[in-house]
Amino acid sequence: VLGAELQIGNMLKNIKYLISVNILRLIVNPLITIGVGKLIGFQGIELVALLSMSACPTAVASYTMAKEMKADGDLAGEIVATTSILSI
């Protein structure tokens, strides 16, 4: 359902939001998490686990929740799609 409702025109309209969310979600958040993990003393597999938890895409449920709460469901769907593609 989410994929069927995505429109490239809307994605271009929201490009500044999508870029900032993806940079924060997929680059800044993992860097901070890994940095704190290193400071605490984690290493090896623990850091890999922290990376996989902090650099994961936005949950699909956020799209449905945004639609139900009369928020910007289109933007939420675009965030889910772009973070899913870029997290690979």
pTM (predicted TM-score): 0.83
Percent of the chain residues past pLDDT 70, beyond the cut: 94
Name residue 83's amino acid: T
Residues 6+ apart with CB under 8 A from 66: 72, 73, 75, 76, 77
Average pLDDT value for residue range 47-54: 93
Which has the higher per-residue pLDDT, 63 or 46? 46
